[in-house]
Amino acid sequence: MITIDSLTKRYGDVTAVDAVSFTAAPGRVTGFLGPNGAGKSTTMRIVTGLTPATAGTARVLGRDFADLPNPGREVGVLLDASAQHAGRTGREILRIAARTMGLPTARVDAMLELVSLTPGEADRRVRDYSLGMRQRLGIAAALIGDPEVLILDEPANGLDPAGIRWMRDLLRGFADNGGTVLLSSHLLHEIEAIADDIVVIGNGRIVAGGTKDELLGGRGTLVRADDPAGLAAALERAGLSATVADGAVLTEADPATAGRTAYAAGFAVTELRAADGGGLEEMFLELTAASQRDHLHGTEGNAA
Amino acid sequence: MSTTIHTPARSAGDTAAPAAGARRRSAPAPIPFSRIVGVELQKMFDTRAGFWLCASIAIVAVLAQVAITAFGPDSMITFETYATAMGAPLQIILPLIAILSVTSEWSQRSGLATFTLVPSRGKVIAAKGVDALLVGIAASALAIGIGALGYLVGSTITGVERSWELSVTSTLLTILALMLSLSMGFVLGLLFRSSPGAIVGYFVYAMLLPALFGTLAGFQQWFADLQPWVDLNYSATMLYDNVPDTEGWLQLATSAGIWLGIPLLVGAWLLRRSEIK
């Protein structure tokens, strides 16, 4: 359980995190979504006590992070997989973590196996690790204390598709066992694939939040037929909303109802699917575009 | 806009009664300070840099023994010479070890892991301080031990009559002076939180300032009177040559307060407020 309340962080005139409030609940994966520089990492660093907040509170399992008696046993943290002493071996890093938490060294081997780092790789210095191997090591370090809460900043970075799949399954299992997972990403589809709840941040502020279904689904159905106007009229006669757009009909009804109605009215449906969760994607694109350095408006300049 | 997002009632229900039940556990026991001391000691040796820095103590000690035996006149072949030959190199190596034990958390960015596992920054730094002193004392003992061996070999080779005379007082004072150098390195490491900055700072303190203060004292009588009270280098160097009287101890305490106490407080205060990147 992570409870963030009106969290604010200012650097001089810049407000990096602006009155952010949300909760990451046990048994669920909470995806923290936002473009680069939106304030995700700063928020997570405040939650883990590395950055002091200007105002507001962040509590993990009901306490300030600094008041956790043995944080590693309660909260697994992975903020930056490259932030390790490059001259230590992976095994050494896990040993130090295990020793700090007061765990038997057997946990080290168990974790290496869990994240599929071979003994040979474990004895290499982290300097020689690929980013994917560092992420695996970081996840091992986060899980070694058997925590109740996981806080992971962009954990999929550097993992190959199989690795991403593996991590999704791992986090799903962790949440299904009652654990709390907060993970950040700047990729909508990545969050879509794993999160139960989504919190969207842009320019330091929360711009949307809720369950994945609320944010991505429930936007109605797209039906396509050769005669969209006729189909729209048929749907309306059945008491369903219908708007024609781009040669297709958008309705608030679910796909099954829309399909049956079209069939009953004698229309051959050529496409039938849940409408895009357009709201979130549009909003996210706008957020991303606003913070993008390479604007796509170069053509205007050329025309002038 | 200050949008407040609360996760839906469904998940709030999960909070009140965790489905699995197994996850709601009692809080673990706090991490004892002794364990942090142990972990930080391990971290001082487990990297290549740390290992060689510590190994260099033994290596330099052996080289010093060889040098005395090879080039020293017979009058220098005493246990005291061998045992204290390490003083000068240790005065450089020990502060370096102390500096790196602190600054590597920043320059190598391992601080992210360290301070999320032990959020009390003061405890981590205190543990590092204890370890630096432990290493310093162990290194001094090692230097004397190697000195004894060197003397044994050296006196045999040169045929000088052996006498195991070593002033306990002056040995302890030498070790104290070394601990002051080491503490200076530690404090600079805490203050700068960057290896190059702290190392340069230490050399300025140990090499440049004595010359500067010496010159000043040579021209200005008022500073010459004041120097023992405010110049830690000066009052610590005195420990190599003579046993301080009451005033000497007071001078040592004041100058240590200025050069170690105040920077330590400032460094600790800055560390509390700083961001670990």
Q: What is the pLDDT of residue A252?
A: 83
Which residues of chain B make contact with A1, given a CB cutoff of 8 A? 15
Fold of A2-214: Rossmann fold (3.40.50)
Domain-located, residue B45: yes
Shortest Cα–Cα distance, B15 to chain A (Å): 6
Domain-located, residue B244: no
B60 or B185: whose pLDDT is higher? B185
Strands A205-211 and A75-78, by their bridges, are unpaired
Q: What is the pLDDT of residue B16?
A: 39
Q: What is the pLDDT of residues B193-247, one digit of tens each?
A: 999 999 999 999 999 999 999 999 999 999 999 998 999 988 888 888 888 899 9
Strands A221-225 and A248-251, by their bridges, are antiparallel
Could you tell me if A132 lies within 8 Å of chain B, comparing CB atoms?
no
Q: Tell me, what DSSP letter sits at residue B28? A: P
Q: What is the pLDDT of residue A37?
A: 87
ipTM metric:
0.84
Cβ–Cβ gap B3/A207 under 8 Å: yes
Q: What is the pLDDT of residue B24?
A: 57
Tell the residue number behind the tokens 């391990």, with chain if given: B42
Give the span between the Cα atoms of A201 and A217, in whole angstroms.
19
Which residues of chain A make contact with B44, given a CB cutoff of 8 A? none
A28 or B78: whose pLDDT is higher? A28
Interface list for A 241-300 with B (CB within 8 A): none
Q: What is the pLDDT of residue B22?
A: 47
Can you give the pTM of this predicted structure? 0.84
Which residues of chain B make contact with A85, given a CB cutoff of 8 A? 43, 47, 104, 108-110
Give the span between the Cα atoms of A15 and A186, in whole angstroms.
20
Checking B117-123 for CB contacts under 8 A at 24+ apart, the result is B117/A71, B117/A72, B117/A97, B117/A100, B117/A101, B118/A71, B118/A100, B118/B31, B118/B36, B119/A49, B119/A65, B119/A66, B119/A68, B119/A71, B120/A66, B121/B271, B121/B272, B122/B268, B122/B271, B122/B272, B123/B33, B123/B36
pLDDT tier, B7 (very low <50, low <70, confident <90, very high otherwise): very low
Nearest residue in B to A2, CA atom: B15
Domain-located, residue B148: yes
Cβ–Cβ gap A50/B28 under 8 Å: no
- Percent of chain B with pLDDT strictly greater than 70: 91
* Residuewise pLDDT in 10s, chain A (304 residues): 999 999 999 999 999 999 999 999 999 999 999 988 899 999 999 999 999 999 999 999 999 999 999 999 999 999 999 999 999 999 999 999 999 999 999 999 999 999 999 999 999 999 999 999 999 999 999 999 999 999 999 999 889 999 999 999 999 999 999 999 999 999 888 898 899 999 999 889 998 888 887 777 656 788 899 988 999 999 999 888 888 877 888 888 888 888 999 999 999 999 988 876 566 777 777 777 765 555 544 444 343 3
Q: Per-domain residue ranges for chain A?
A: 2-214, 220-275
Cβ-Cβ pairs closer than 8 A, A with B, add up to 170
Cβ–Cβ gap B6/A22 under 8 Å: yes
Q: Which residues contact A52 (CB under 8 A, 6 or more apart)?
A: A46, B273, B275
The counts of H helices and E strands in chain A are 13, 13
User: A41, A44, A85, A126: best mutation site toward chain B, by most B Cβ within 10 Å?
Assistant: A85
Nearest residue in B to A89, CA atom: B47
Shortest Cα–Cα distance, B134 to chain A (Å): 19
Give the span between the Cα atoms of A75 and A148, in whole angstroms.
6
- Number of domains composing chain B: 1
Per the prediction, chain B carries an average pLDDT of 87
Residue B140 lies in domain: 31-194
Shortest Cα–Cα distance, B229 to chain A (Å): 39
Give the span between the Cα atoms of A264 and B195, in whole angstroms.
77
Cβ–Cβ gap A210/B8 under 8 Å: yes
Which residues of chain B make contact with A179, given a CB cutoff of 8 A? 23
Domain-located, residue B215: no
Give the span between the Cα atoms of A54 and A12, in whole angstroms.
11
Q: Reply yes or no on whether the pLDDT at B1 is more than 70.
A: no
What number is the average pLDDT over the span B244-260? 93
Give the span between the Cα atoms of A50 and B115, in whole angstroms.
7
Domain-located, residue B162: yes
| Phi and psi torsions of B53, nearest 5° | -60, -45
Residue from B165, B149, B161, B171 nearest B62 by CA: B149
| Phi and psi torsions of A4, nearest 5° | -115, 125
Which of B114-123, B160-169, B249-258 has the lowest average pLDDT?
B160-169
Q: What is the pLDDT of residues B52-63, one digit of tens each?
A: 888 888 888 888
Domain-located, residue B18: no
pLDDT tier, B159 (very low <50, low <70, confident <90, very high otherwise): confident
Domain-located, residue B124: yes
A120, two tokens: 């040979």
A221, two tokens: 């159905």
Q: What is the pLDDT of residue B200?
A: 96
Q: What is the pLDDT of residue A218?
A: 59
Q: What is the pLDDT of residue B11?
A: 40
Domain-located, residue B3: no
Fold of A220-275: Alpha-Beta Plaits (3.30.70)
Cβ–Cβ gap A79/B116 under 8 Å: yes
Which residues of chain A make contact with B5, given a CB cutoff of 8 A? 21-23, 199, 206, 208-210
